[in-house]
Structure 1
């Protein structure tokens, strides 16, 4: 076999990257978790989503800064390695892997559950394998095909969510809500309730950071990726908050027979059983797009760490000469599907949150570290590089503490395993932590930018 290139090829533009970010978050998620958020917030779900949007946006600003300064596909792993040190960068990357390795499995498991509910004669594990194989084939074929398929499915999911919102508006024109302000604040609202619900709602934004893993496959990444990060969080926040507001008008308060199926019950209420089945299709469509996007991001993270020599370079640091995709990394994520065949949704979810919020916190710290390194040689603002990321770090660290004991235990064990692996590859820290194979220098000022090209 011929020697493979070690660089990814830029083929994506702003629209493509934003579509990947939105599919990663799954637009229909607001319909699925609405009942849980409304119950936790005493009937003020849109306020909880607004608060979580603001909180996550603080971290999105940090990701945007880092993506502009370091347009590489390693995301939090690369930022920490360059601005803190290589061992810390390795451990951040190891923690993020808990998110990136298990998130495709979670997407396929969720998809399997939805499809099994629609077609119960086919077991969940069969649906999981079907979806995993399909997304794997598409991602191996190349990022251009992945982009085209993702745009179609993400657009379909968005249209079905907007159709549901339209049915809510039509329903409200005939029933006339008791209060238009109660969904935002009512006599049962408390700050503790809102903050707790906002912490849960923040999980809806997991994946916005994944667009930074596409930096080396994006035209004019220094400009396009930061814009995409902020647009994904902004669009997601407006969509989640707006749809939650309409749903809260249809069903005031936070009392449900079963909060977990509140969205499905509201679909029946506003449009009937047939319409509810169509909105359920939105979850299935969004689930496939999410599986495609998360596998793409996960494989890129594995490739970057393989290219750096953290994992065997001959396997994980290699690209296919024709498709320019990390085939072995994609297949590695496919193997994770087997791990999830016998897991519950709750257990699978516990694997991903620790890595995500750990990475969010570290990226905020990286922005502050950049300020410390460059405050004497390059004017950088205290507000943008210290105060805002400091607030972002506090928020994401708080969310980390709100995870379930199971999630914290899994995350802690995974981190200990990472320390053990780092000890082994450095031979008891007698050797340096593997560094990137590319000649990268810490920039003091971004390079000139040109306009992005959409794929």
Structure 2
């Protein structure tokens, strides 16, 4: 049965940028605050600043690869085209840890905070709220998802703005000042704690790369996607730094009643029960928007891998004849997200970061391979932009990768081993190339 296999170019800079921001979820700074504060011993802002630098180098490399290959597929496509099909498959496989399991992590982060705020809501119900409705919206189409996302993001920005105002007011009333270097530096600073915190903080930035999965649905993607990528990193990075700085000053200790809902304790301190209610509404909205974006991106990565037949095409390369959306992929992502019922915050985020850091590192390496090696771009300017900058980006990401906890490294390695086994099967033990679909061979998802 014939199946449409391409994407309509309808998206512009603002909805694409908001899509990336929604995926990153600015409000995630509250849900990870307790874990990050404890891990960094209160130096949460420094951890975020380290991560912002790393992500900007990687955002640059994404922008260069988008110009070279303006198609969906993200790091999977870039590595495959720039370096080789076998390695490309493995990067796509590892990237699945990020894209497919990120919706699950969103459920974990939000469900813990929501259950702490409203004990009457059981944890399992909180998880389902962020799986089923977003899945239905994505099945109905990308246009509906982006329109809804705009208004959800506006409400999220409003709640964050209220938190900033209330925090400043509390600090001015209590200490008389909201200026301090405590969240950035102390005399007993530990680099190991700081680097471990940066590795966890990177979870908050997962999503700017998801913008590249909408390349085939974007008008003038070579210009629009890079701009949106930089904007998403800078806007969210700024929010993370400001909010975490104020939160750490409001709650100077890095000890909490429950580290998984530490941010909720700060919110209650700042605004009392009234703001808790407002925040809960904002948290539901922001996490809902993030879940919609995360499911949409994951479904498109699976679609591209299915379209290329490196995953079973009848399932992963299928789109619904009426809604023109990857229905099977969305259902699979929903089922995987149910694992959220058994995970805590630290485990879910570090597991996903294994895939993200690996993919980010190889996007940087892909720039070197495509432009510097294959393209023979060797002028002094080219050496800076196509060798040094992506090399620094790759080093940052592999360094953060090395600071993941041992459980993430073990689980990630097991997942990678399964990918190698699958690759051996589809290539007849490397006797042939992984299957691939031509870049121009597609029909569009329509909404």
Under a length normalisation based on structure 2, what TM-score does the superposition of the two structures give? 0.91
Say which is worse superposed, 162-171 or 73-82, in terms of deviation.
162-171
Mapped partners of 2:20, 2:84: distance in 1:
28
Q: CA deviation at 1:90?
A: 0.5
Cα root mean square deviation, aligned: 2.5
Describe the superposition over 1:346-366 as per-residue Cα deviations: whole angstroms up to 9, x where unpaired: 444343121111101111110
Alignment of 1:120-131 (within 5 A): 120-131=119-130
Alignment of 1:246-325 (within 5 A): 246-252=246-252, 254=254, 259-325=259-325
Q: CA deviation at 1:75?
A: 0.3
Do 1:361 and 1:393's aligned partners in 2 also have CA atoms closer than 8 Å? yes
Aligned to 1:76: 75
Q: CA deviation at 1:83?
A: 0.5
Aligned to 1:422: 423
Aligned to 2:374: 373
Q: CA deviation at 1:437?
A: 3.6
Do 1:157 and 1:285's aligned partners in 2 also have CA atoms closer than 8 Å? yes
Mapped partners of 1:302, 1:295: distance in 2:
11
Aligned to 1:224: 224
Alpha-carbon spacing, 1:339–1:437, altered in 2? closer, same or farther (3 Å): farther
Aligned to 1:237: 237
Q: Which structure 2 residue ranges, 5 or more long, are not aligned?
A: 442-446
SS at match of 2:101: helix
Q: CA deviation at 1:252?
A: 3.8
Q: CA deviation at 1:379?
A: 8.8
SS at match of 1:381: helix
SS at match of 1:428: coil
Do 1:114 and 1:284's aligned partners in 2 also have CA atoms closer than 8 Å? no
Q: CA deviation at 1:71?
A: 1.1
Do 1:303 and 1:318's aligned partners in 2 also have CA atoms closer than 8 Å? yes
Alignment of 1:11-410 (within 5 A): 11-175=10-174, 176-177=176-177, 180-252=180-252, 254=254, 259-370=259-370, 371-375=372-376, 381-410=382-411
Alpha-carbon spacing, 1:256–1:354, altered in 2? closer, same or farther (3 Å): same
- State how many pairs are aligned: 440
Say which is worse superposed, 308-317 or 213-222, in terms of deviation.
308-317
Do 1:177 and 1:250's aligned partners in 2 also have CA atoms closer than 8 Å? no
Q: CA deviation at 1:121?
A: 4.0
Aligned to 2:444: none
Q: CA deviation at 1:189?
A: 3.4
Mapped partners of 1:49, 1:188: distance in 2:
19
Mapped partners of 1:154, 1:163: distance in 2:
14
Q: CA deviation at 1:67?
A: 1.4
Aligned to 1:432: 433
SS at match of 2:412: helix
Alpha-carbon spacing, 1:431–1:20, altered in 2? closer, same or farther (3 Å): same
Q: Which structure 1 residue ranges, 5 or more long, are not aligned?
A: 441-454
Describe the superposition over 1:218-251 as per-residue Cα deviations: whole angstroms up to 9, x where unpaired: 1111111111111111111111111122223333
Alpha-carbon spacing, 1:262–1:135, altered in 2? closer, same or farther (3 Å): closer
Do 2:29 and 2:244's aligned partners in 1 also have CA atoms closer than 8 Å? yes
Mapped partners of 2:133, 2:208: distance in 1:
23
